[in-house]
A and B are shown apart, each in its own frame.
Chain A
Amino acid sequence: ETGVTQTPRHLVMGMTNKKSLKCEQHLGHNAMYWYKQSAKKPLELMFVYSLEERVENNSVPSRFSPECPNSSHLFLHLHTLQPEDSALYLCASSQNNNYFYEQYFGPGTRLTVT
C-alpha cells in the first residue's frame, strides 16, 4: 500500500463513451502525475500538477482531459478514445519543494478501448 489509490482498477469502454479515472493520495503531497504505460513502450508522462496547477502537458491528445480539484485528488476524463489508447494508466504523487523527490505510484487503471 503506497498511499495512492486509483479507481476503477479495470475499465472497458467503447470509442464513443465518456469515462473518468480517479486518483487519490493520502500522503500530504503537493504534486500529482498521470503516466501511460503501454506494452513494449517506456513509461510516458502525460500530465503534471503542482499545487493544483497544471505545469506540464506532454503533447497529449485532447481526448484526455485532466482535472485537479485539490492537492489530494486527480482525475483523467476520457472521451472518444481510440483502440491504441488501451494501456495501464498510472497516477503518482510527490512532495516537491525546490527539489523534486521520489514519486509514489498507485496500482493503475487497466483501460481497454473496444
Chain B
Amino acid sequence: GNSVTQMEGPVTLSEEAFLTINCTYTATGYPSLFWYVQYPGEGLQLLLKATKADDKGSNKGFEATYRKETTSFHLEKGSVQVSDSAVYFCALSGGSGYALNFGKGTSLLVTP
C-alpha cells in the first residue's frame, strides 16, 4: 500500500539557516504530494503541493519538488525564521481509499 517516510525530528536550527526535511514515499500509480504545517495549538495547514512528476510546489519561501525517480518530495527553505517553528507533515493521495497518507511529522525549532 501507499506510505510516507519522513526524517525523524526534532530539527533545531538557528535563524537564517537552510532547512531540508526529507520525505520519501511508496505508492502505486501517480499520487499527488503535499506538505502540511501544524503550528502549536492549531490544526494542519496546507503548505504546498505537487500533482505530477517534476512539479515544484512553493509557498512562503518553502519549496519541494516531486521526484519520481527517487520517490522523494523533500521540503526546503533557504532562510528559516523563528516563526517557522512548527511540525511539518508530508502526505500523499491518489492511492486506494479516501484519505491522505501522512508521515509521522517532523518537529522544527528555530532559535534566534
Interface residues of A (CB under 8 A from B): 2, 4, 6, 31, 33, 42-43, 45, 48, 50, 55-56, 90, 92, 96, 99-108
Contacts and interface: CB of A to CB of B under 8 A. Distances in A.
B34 A56 contact: no
Contacts of B43: 2, 4, 6, 90, 105-108
Interface stretch (B13-21, B68-76, B77-85, B95-103): B95-103
Contacts, number: 52
A80 to B, nearest CB: 26
Chain A, interface SS category: strand
A101 to B, nearest CB: 7
Interface residues of B, number: 20
B25 interface: no
A33 B42 CA distance: 17
B104 A48 contact: no
Given A101-B93, A102-B34, A108-B43, 7 more contacts: A2-B43, A33-B98, A42-B104, A102-B46, A102-B93, A105-B43, A106-B43
B99 A33 contact: yes
Contacts of A48: 98-99
B3 to A, nearest CB: 11
Given A48-B98, A55-B98, A102-B49, A108 B42 contact: yes
A17 B48 CA distance: 40
